[in-house]
Amino acid sequence: MEFVEHNLCDYSRSRLKVGGNSTSLLSPYLHFGELSVRKVFQSARMKQILWRREQNSQGEESVTLFLKAVGLREYSRYLTFNFPFTHERPLLSNLKYFPWNADVNRFKAWRQGRTGYPLVDAGMRELWATGWIHNRIRVIVSSFAVKFLLLPWRWGMKYFWHTLLDADLECDILGWQYISGSLPDGHELERLDSPQIQGSKFDPEGEYVRQWLPELARMPTEWIHHPWDAPHTVLKAAGVELGLNYPKPIIDIDIAREHLREAIFKMWEMEAAAKAATSDGMNEEVFDNSIGIETSTIPKVILKENSSCPTYSSNDQRVPSFQNGNNGSLHRKRAKCVEEERLPADKPNNHNKQAGTSRGEEDLCSTAESSASKRQSISRMSFSVPRSCSLSDGRPMQECELSDMKQSWQEKIDLEQTSSKNGN
């Protein structure tokens, strides 16, 4: 690759320059599968090993920083795979109370590059013209939209998705959640970076701004990133008329910082009120991020009305034991099983007919029995039978000895084995 051979060694020094080809420009090729991430990693690592032998510290540092950027790309896939709702909901639940300002006019001014902040406007115009912007510019313009204008981060994420050539959903989600403070390891929500300071740091000569904002091409470097502070004579000499050929700042930095602080306070108040309304304030609220997702209805099992022995839901998943043998409702549920046990052994045809009749009788047994009967096994054999039982009409049965019960179960097993052999 040309980048690895010629530009990777200077990556640590040139990566922060927002103008020119200071980065690898490999993201579109990685996104569309024209280049393998494994090949990029292997090529960079081979260079790093070579430069380490040559004691080229700058080359080693450049490879480390470049592979860190590649690792963040894979980290975005890890987050999206484990938290698939992150394209529409913040990862931190408290952000759901943040009072976003859904101002369409401000969003339009931001995307068209008419905010009045030269570095932000230059980045948005480059994005519209070329479909690509430097990673540092992406951070600056997205932070401005979220922190200065309080626009919903989903709006910016969708706009990036429609305009970027390397529009990668996972990276797009990671970037906007990182900027909006929605990630535990992301930007602090209260952090607000001045575009003026960012411009003097990453575009000190103003070349990037002059390239994409021709109306500011004649502005002196001293005022290029904050023309609103320039004297009137300087603006007149540069041919700049604020509010006419270049807009005034859409919002003052101090006012934006105050609005952000108020929004954060309101977010915490709304979260505290929500917790107090749902609990005593001592328990932590569990936020279900799946709220609002359409799901199909879960089918319910409805028993037939003509069932002779109704099923009681309180005992549906309960195995009878000697301790609950005096429960009348449980006896009525299992009366059919007791009657089958008392059938004479010389009527195998009737027994087979009752054992595999209709689906209605399958509903008479518990959930554990009905699931086991599909494997052609008698689930009632796994239950322990109570000593005292009653018939379906309420007449009490004589108490049986444990040895007699074991003998009757053994007879029943022999009978079923004989019936299965005759069926085969």
- Tell whether 11 is in a known binding site: yes
pLDDT tens per residue, range 127-158: 999 999 998 999 999 999 999 999 999 999 99
Who wins on pLDDT, 2 or 194?
194
Who wins on pLDDT, 119 or 415?
119
Residues of the chain with CATH 1.10.579.10: 104-254
pLDDT tens per residue, range 35-85: 888 998 999 999 889 888 888 888 889 899 999 888 888 888 888 888 888
Whether the CA torsion 360, 364, 368, 372 is positive or negative: it is: negative
Range 104-254: architecture per CATH: Orthogonal Bundle (1.10)
Q: Provide, for the chain, the percentages of residues in helix, strand and coil under a 3-state DSSP scheme, each rounded to the nearest 5.
A: 60, 0, 40
Chain centre to alpha carbon of residue 363: 40
Phi, psi of 390, deg, nearest 5: -135, 150
Reported as a pLDDT band with limits 50, 70 and 90, residue 279 is: low
pLDDT value of position 158: 92
- Tell whether 14 is in a known binding site: no
Residues 401, 41: Cα–Cα separation, whole Å: 76
Reported as a pLDDT band with limits 50, 70 and 90, residue 312 is: very low
Token couple for 157:
């994420």
- Tell whether 66 is in a known binding site: yes
Q: Which long-range contacts (CB under 8 A, 24 or more apart) does 85-92 make?
A: 85/289, 85/290, 85/293, 86/173, 86/177, 86/182, 87/157, 87/169, 87/173, 88/154, 89/289, 90/153, 90/177, 90/180, 90/182, 91/177, 91/182, 91/183, 91/184, 92/181, 92/182, 92/183, 92/184
pLDDT tops 60 at residue 228: yes
- Tell whether 144 is in a known binding site: no
Q: CB–CB of 189/181 below 8 Å?
A: yes
In the three-class reduction of DSSP (H, G, I as helix; E, B as strand; rest coil), residue 396 is classed as strand
- Tell whether 23 is in a known binding site: yes
In the three-class reduction of DSSP (H, G, I as helix; E, B as strand; rest coil), residue 130 is classed as helix
- Tell whether 382 is in a known binding site: no
Residues of the chain with CATH 1.25.40.80: 1-82
Instruction: Specify the amino acid at residue 328.
Output: G
pLDDT tens per residue, range 180-225: 887 777 778 888 889 999 999 999 999 999 999 999 999 999 999 9
Cα–Cα distances in angstroms (integers) from residue 302 to residues 297, 372, 380, in the given order? 15, 19, 22
pLDDT tops 90 at residue 118: yes
Q: CB–CB of 146/153 below 8 Å?
A: yes
The contacts of residue 132 (CB under 8 Å, 6+ apart) are: 25, 28, 126, 164, 165, 166
Q: CB–CB of 322/386 below 8 Å?
A: yes
Who wins on pLDDT, 286 or 185?
185
Token couple for 346:
């010389």
pLDDT value of position 2: 79
Give the percent of the chain with pLDDT over 70: 65
- Tell whether 355 is in a known binding site: no
Residues 160, 145: Cα–Cα separation, whole Å: 12
- Tell whether 393 is in a known binding site: no
> Which CATH number is 1-82's, of 1.25.40.80, 3.40.190.10, 1.25.10.10, 2.60.40.1120?
1.25.40.80
363 torsion bin: left (phi>0), alpha (psi -120 to 50), beta (else): alpha
- Tell whether 27 is in a known binding site: yes
Residues 282, 285: Cα–Cα separation, whole Å: 9
pLDDT value of position 124: 96
Q: CB–CB of 330/320 below 8 Å?
A: yes
Residues 320, 20: Cα–Cα separation, whole Å: 78
pLDDT value of position 73: 86
pLDDT value of position 149: 95
pLDDT tops 50 at residue 392: no
